[in-house]
Amino acid sequence: AQSVSQHNHHVILSEAASLELGCNYSYGGTVNLFWYVQYPGQHLQLLLKYFSGDPLVKGIKGFEAEFIKSKFSFNLRKPSVQWSDTAEYFCAVNQGDKIIFGKGTRLHILP
C-alpha cells in the first residue's frame, strides 16, 4: 500500500531563509503528487500538484516542488520565506482512486 513520509514534523526558520520540506512516497509506478497548506485558522488549500510532464512544478505564493522519480521524492521548496508562510504543510500522493496524506510539517517563521 502507498504511504507518504514527511520527515520534518516541525521546522523553524527566520524570514528570508530558504525552505525545503521533504516528502517521500513508497510505491512506484505512475503517481500524482500534491502539496496542501493550512494557514492558522484557515481551511486547507491546494498549493501545487504534479500529474505528468515537467518534474519541476510551480505553485502559488512562490512555492515549487520537484518530482524525482528515482528517489520517490516530491520536496517542497521556497527560496526566501516570509512570516506569512507560517502554516502546516501536507504532502499527498494518490493510491488508485484515493489520496494518501502525510502527517504534516508545521512550519514556523520567525519575524
Partner 1 sequence: DVKVTQSSRYLVKRTGEKVFLECVQDMDHENMFWYRQDPGLGLRLIYFSYDVKMKEKGDIPEGYSVSREKKERFSLILESASTNQTSMYLCASSFGQGYQPQHFGDGTRLSIL
Q: Which residues bind partner 1 (CB under 8 A)?
A: 9, 32, 34, 42-46, 49, 90, 92, 94, 97-104
Return the SS3 of 62. Answer: helix
Least distance to partner 1 from the beta carbon of 108, Å? 15
Q: Kindly report the CA angle at 58 between 54 and 64, in degrees rounded to 5?
A: 105
The residue (of 19 and 92) whose beta carbon lies closer to partner 1 is 92
Least distance to partner 1 from the beta carbon of 97, Å? 5
Cβ atoms of 86 and 64 within 8 Å: the answer is no
Least distance to partner 1 from the beta carbon of 79, Å? 26
- Give the integer Cα–Cα distance in Å for 66 and 64: 7
The residue (of 16 and 44) whose beta carbon lies closer to partner 1 is 44
The residue (of 54 and 98) whose beta carbon lies closer to partner 1 is 98
- Give the integer Cα–Cα distance in Å for 110 and 14: 5
